Amino acid sequence: MRDTGRHHVIIGDGATAAAFAETAPSEAGDRLSVIGPDIGQLGRGLAYGEVPADRPWADAYLLNSPSAAVLPEFADWMAARWDEVTERMRGRRPDWLSFGADHIAAADHAALFAPRAIFGDYLTGLVQAALDRHRASGVAVELIMGRAATLDRDGAEFVIGLDNGQRIRADRVDLAPGTPALDGLGSDAGPCAFPMLYGHEDEIAAQVRPGRTILCLGANAAMLDVLRFLQSVLDEGDIRLSVLSASTLRPEPLIWQRPRKPAVEPEIAGSFDTCADLMAAVDAEIARFRTKGADMAQLRPGFKAWMTHETLAALLPDLAERQAVPPLLERRFRRGSHDSIADYRRLRIAGQVTETMGRAEAVAPATDGATVRVAGQNSLTAPLVINCSGPGTRLALDDLSTELLHRGWLSLTPDGAGVITGPDLAAGPAGLRYLTPAVMQIGERVMPFPLYDLGVLRTEAARANGA
Ligand SMILES: Cc1cc2nc3c(=O)[nH]c(=O)nc-3n(C[C@H](O)[C@H](O)[C@H](O)COP(=O)(O)OP(=O)(O)OC[C@H]3O[C@@H](n4cnc5c(N)ncnc54)[C@H](O)[C@@H]3O)c2cc1C
């Protein structure tokens, strides 16, 4: 077999690593290796993980957008397997099939907020098919179970050190270590506090009781997943959820009607001196569309399609001002699963969900649960505390990313909330590329919306691969 001596290594086993692998440029005789702790599930990562079917919360967590808004082809894939999906979801709590009955009756599967685990099935299928294509064209593909602990340069090559001591040499490396850690709240606060929901479900389920209050720190999509989790393990009347949030903003669902309403077409022109000025214009434009009856299903796609990096650069010529835009824009267009937002609102009206304004500062063990210190207010104590806040401006990157920052191969935006790569995702020496949801700027291109969006991550990976 031909051997070109070229070795392309992809570090990570989530959806971004899979996207890199799918379109990796290669020719017969090349080697392509992908490294991850759960490499048999390449493509799923943190968001689209498979939960054993005997767990009540298997398939409970949903995509944050209608299926076709995440990836249009996914809706077709799901429609083609609709009988299997129905069988799998029958009898599940909460009752996803009943919530989507209207769309299902109209065979409008594109409008459903699909279970993320099912979306993960789709992603793993995509990447496996692509790896088969690489193999068929003569590329030696290897999937390596493990975690890359070190990444160094040795002459013209990279040397990757795995956590099992193995060393791998490569001339090209794509690093996709994924979603930054949450800010660690609750990680050292005893058995009743959890730094996040995902991966802790068994422990949390063991402590959940009818009527026992669960306090969520943060009111984002992860909090809505906590609600779905509780709906799967408790009778709904027994749920007591308390939410501590520094903001009154809540995600809004993208509800697709039939026929679809067209996305809005923003008309903001000119050039602005500051990010604040631009945001004021965006707010005025949102208000104008809202008075005409637009909701998030028309607002978000309209603004996303319009606000390309070129548009942003023209509107806001100052780079430092531009770099402040992504989190502010995202806040205005936050979306979440229709199903869980509807349930959240219903349970809030019923008094089973309560909200407190405030910013959590620290979590400590208490005799009857865990106590949360809240900035400028009395502390809150609850039998169970789950951290649902994102990393925010306290970006908690993994060790490899942090090391790359120290070496100057990557940098941070001035507010520290996002990562900057070189053009085409380059990071430091030629041959190394980097892509995670925390990337906010690629070369001169400031991403108007953050990359916590699979469609955009896939587009950027494919673009860097020249696909
Ligand atoms: C709970 C949740 C729900 C989401 N829902 C949606 C949604 O509905 N729609 C949407 O568009 N986006 C959603 N997102 C955004 C999501 O971040 C992206 O869609 C995408 O899944 C990110 O994939 P990733 O591979 O970059 O990161 P991750 O999913 O975090 O995967 C990275 C993987 O790399 C592995 N890894 C890390 N370091 C190393 C190392 N040193 N060596 C080897 N492997 C390593 C990790 O173990 C992990 O499995 C969601 C995110 C989360 C967290």
Under 8 Å between Cβ of 131 and 39 = no
Output DSSP code: residue 264: P
pLDDT given for residue 169 in this prediction: 98
Tell whether ligand 1 has an atom less than 6 A from the beta carbon of residue 67: no
pLDDT given for residue 250 in this prediction: 85
What confidence tier does 393 reach under pLDDT thresholds 50, 70, 90?
A: low
**pLDDT tens digits, one per residue of 105-120:** 999 999 999 999 999 9
Atom of ligand 1 nearest to the CA of 38: 49
Q: Give the tokens for residue 315.
A: 């509107």
The crossing angle, in degrees rounded to 10, of helices 325-332 and 275-291 is: 20
pLDDT given for residue 415 in this prediction: 87
In a 10 Å sphere around its CB, with 0-12 CB exposed, 13-18 middle and 19+ buried, how is residue 259 labelled?
A: exposed
Report d(CA 125, CA 168) in Å as an integer: 27
Atom of ligand 1 nearest to the CA of 179: 30
In a 10 Å sphere around its CB, with 0-12 CB exposed, 13-18 middle and 19+ buried, how is residue 32 labelled?
A: buried
Under 8 Å between Cβ of 100 and 75 = no
Concatenating the DSSP letter of every residue in 71-87 gives: -HHHHHHHHHTHHHHHH
Average confidence score pLDDT of the chain: 95
Report d(CA 430, CA 306) in Å as an integer: 33
Q: Which of 399, 361, 397 is nearest to 380 (CA)?
A: 361
**pLDDT tens digits, one per residue of 301-348:** 999 999 999 999 999 999 999 999 999 999 999 999 999 999 999 999
Atom of ligand 1 nearest to the CA of 119: 8
Query: What residues contact 430, with CB distance under 8 A and at least 6 apart?
Result: none
**In the predicted model, is pLDDT for residue 1 greater than 70?**
no
Q: 344 alpha carbon to ligand 1 midpoint, in Å? A: 25
Tell whether ligand 1 has an atom less than 6 A from the beta carbon of residue 33: no
The domains of the chain are located at 7-45+119-180+395-464, 67-114, 193-251+335-387, 253-332
Determine the residue of 50, 197, 216, 452 to mutate for testing ligand 1's pocket, defined as the one with the most ligand atoms within 8 A of the Cβ atom: 452
Which is it for strands 419-421 and 411-412: parallel, antiparallel or unpaired? Answer: antiparallel
* φ/ψ of residue 8, rounded to 5: -105, 120
**pLDDT tens digits, one per residue of 266-289:** 999 999 999 999 999 999 999 999
Q: 122 alpha carbon to ligand 1 midpoint, in Å? A: 15
Under 8 Å between Cβ of 10 and 176 = yes
Under 8 Å between Cβ of 388 and 216 = yes
What confidence tier does 392 reach under pLDDT thresholds 50, 70, 90?
A: low
**pLDDT tens digits, one per residue of 4-25:** 999 999 999 999 999 999 999 9
What confidence tier does 463 reach under pLDDT thresholds 50, 70, 90?
A: very high
Query: What residues contact 326, with CB distance under 8 A and at least 6 apart?
Result: 417, 418, 440, 446, 447, 448, 449, 450
Mean pLDDT, residues 390-417 taken together: 86
- Considering only CA atoms, give the Rg of the chain: 23
The crossing angle, in degrees rounded to 10, of helices 116-136 and 15-22 is: 30
Q: What percent of the chain has pLDDT over 90?
A: 92
CATH classification code of 7-45+119-180+395-464: 3.50.50.60
Q: Which of 16, 36, 47, 44 is nearest to 196 (CA)?
A: 47
Tell whether ligand 1 has an atom less than 6 A from the beta carbon of residue 365: no
What confidence tier does 248 reach under pLDDT thresholds 50, 70, 90?
A: confident
Q: Closest residue (by CA) to atom 32 of ligand 1?
A: 178
Order of all β-strands in the sheet with 213-217: 193-194, 384-387, 213-217, 240-245, 353-357
**In the predicted model, is pLDDT for residue 428 greater than 90?**
yes
- What b/e readout covers 90-117, taking b as 16+ CB neighbours within 10 angstroms? eebebebeebbeebbeeebbbbbbbbbb
**pLDDT tens digits, one per residue of 173-223:** 999 999 877 667 777 889 999 989 999 999 999 999 999 999 999 998 999
Tell whether ligand 1 has an atom less than 6 A from the beta carbon of residue 64: yes
What confidence tier does 394 reach under pLDDT thresholds 50, 70, 90?
A: low
**pLDDT tens digits, one per residue of 47-102:** 999 999 999 999 999 999 999 999 999 999 999 999 999 999 999 999 999 999 99
Under 8 Å between Cβ of 280 and 249 = no
Instruction: Return the CATH class of domain 193-251+335-387.
Output: alpha beta
Q: Are domains 7-45+119-180+395-464 and 193-251+335-387 of this chain identical in fold?
A: yes
Atom of ligand 1 nearest to the CA of 70: 11
